[in-house]
Amino acid sequence: MFHVYSQPGPYDGGTMKDRIGALHRYVPLVKNIARSDCPVASAIARGSTGLIKLVKHDYEMRFYKSFATENIVDCALAKLDSKDLVDNTILEIGEINGIADIQPGMRVQKSGRTTGLTSGVVKSIGTTLQVEMREEEKIWFSDQVVTNMSSQPGDSGALVLNEDRKVVGLLFAGSDKLTIFNRITNVVDRLGIEFV
């Protein structure tokens, strides 16, 4: 697998000439529910579908496999083509001052590609929730942080900081009313990185 990162990204008109790096490391997501690829289950589903179609033409039988594992992070790391291609400040926030633990009630902020600078208050930590990644594919995440800060698609990957500009998380899901992010300590541990 080889992914190229560009700035701006393809959604905003970026092309290969805008390349700034390539995928270096990532944490694979573990599916919790996926369509079964078991030959026996497939045979039973086909036979059952044949019987069902005698009565209801637009129905079919499917089997799904459940997994007990939960995900803690949704993150990846790119290796830059050159340090000169990026700035070490966050737009509208400035330079970061290291990392910090997260606490309920803490004020947080982020600067995202879609919604720009937004802020909010941490509503819960250690939260377990299910996120629909694609149609018929739901993934469980545990030890997540929920805040009332707004975000939209395109903001994913933004660092979440406290008022002292210390990184507390990595944004991966959100809406107009809520943002969900991974604890930065989990991201640092899983990717084997440090903030300097």
Phi, psi at 67, each rounded to 5°: -120, 145
Is residue 35 packed enough to be buried (19+ CB in 10 Å), middle (13-18) or exposed (0-12)?
Answer: middle
Tokens of 165: 């500009």
Three-state DSSP state, 26: strand
Peptide bond into 39 cis (omega under 30): no
Q: Could you identify the residue written with the tokens 């990644």? A: 133
- pLDDT given for residue 1 in this prediction: 46
Query: Which domains occur in the chain, in start order?
Result: 33-66 (no CATH), 89-191 (2.40.10.10)
pLDDT at 2 over 70: no
Q: What is the pTM of this model?
A: 0.79
Alpha-carbon span 47 to 61, nearest angstrom: 9
- pLDDT given for residue 142 in this prediction: 94
Three-state DSSP state, 44: helix
Please write the tens of the pLDDT for every residue from 21-43. 999 999 999 876 666 778 887 88
Please write the tens of the pLDDT for every residue from 101-148. 999 999 999 999 999 999 999 999 999 988 877 666 778 899 999 999
